[in-house]
Amino acid sequence: MPGSETAAATDQRFDVNLSILFTELPLLERPAAAAAAGFTAVELWWPWTHAPVPDQSELDALKKAIEGAGVHLVGLNFYAGQLPGPDRGALSIPGEESERFRANIDVAAAFAESLGCRALNALYGNRVEGLDPAVQDELALKNLALAARAADRIGAILLIETLNKPESPHYPLVSAPAAVEVVDRVNEATGLGNARFLMDLYHLSMNGEDLPSVIEQYTAKTGHVQIADNPGRGAPGTGSLPLEELIGGLRKAGYDGWIGLEYKPGDRPSAEAFDWLPAEARAAR
């Protein structure tokens, strides 16, 4: 983004993903670091990559750290295996991984509810070699319906995300239409209407999609947006994506929700990776 004045003029709400930024710090120190950088909202991947049901003491400690920092948790992933890493989701993988996802549903929803979080993200899961994709899709729909119902019980939405094929070659949802089709299937299956598209502009750009067209077609079905520049998945201005224009397009299309900063800080402390964003755009509710 070339100028802070235009960034501020977008009048959007930005939050920090603490699973990709401030990772040079222990988990429990990251909420306070985000607050010190001027942010009032954060989001998280499921922090316990090997524990869909962690000890209650760990959940309590993270809740205390978030509340103590005075930041709002606006988004939380369900258990999705090792992130970052090769797993890329669990809910469509038969056997132990799917069972771990189901065990996590109520735990994640209860944690989100305790912090007023109203968006839960469910990563689909890689294709399994030798297994009929239709079997995985059937399992995914059942598990996503369970997740949507749990989200509905706490007044939250369920997010379904597109990843990108170069980095996640076995992940099946690598286009906006593919993810939105799943959103529609889940809403039809549950009748709740609380499934939404997670529009990650970095992943979509890596897939070569026409981002203005995606914004025009799918903003109405979008529940959350995430950004990083491309190439490199760095901060806005480090690559070639016209993120200022794209965020403006989202605003014009009626999107007024959170925009998650899900980028790598590069060769510097995370606290120095926000110079593109004026202070008044960080402190939002």
Known catalytic residues are: 161, 262
Rounded to whole angstroms, the maximal C-alpha distance in the chain is 53
Q: How many Å apart are CA 285 and CA 275, to the nearest integer?
A: 20
Q: Is 254:11 a contact under the CB 8 Å cutoff? A: no
For residue 125 the two structure tokens come to 């899961």
Alpha-carbon Rg for the chain, nearest whole angstrom, is 18
Q: Are strands 72-77 and 41-44 parallel, antiparallel or unpaired?
A: parallel
Residue 215: closest CA among 230, 194, 234, 197: 197
Q: Are strands 13-17 and 41-44 parallel, antiparallel or unpaired?
A: parallel
DSSP 103-147: HHHHHHHHHHHHTT--EEE--B-PPPTTS-HHHHHHHHHHHHHHH
Q: HSE on the CB side for 93, CA within 13 Å?
A: 22
DSSP 12-24: -EEEEETTTSSTT
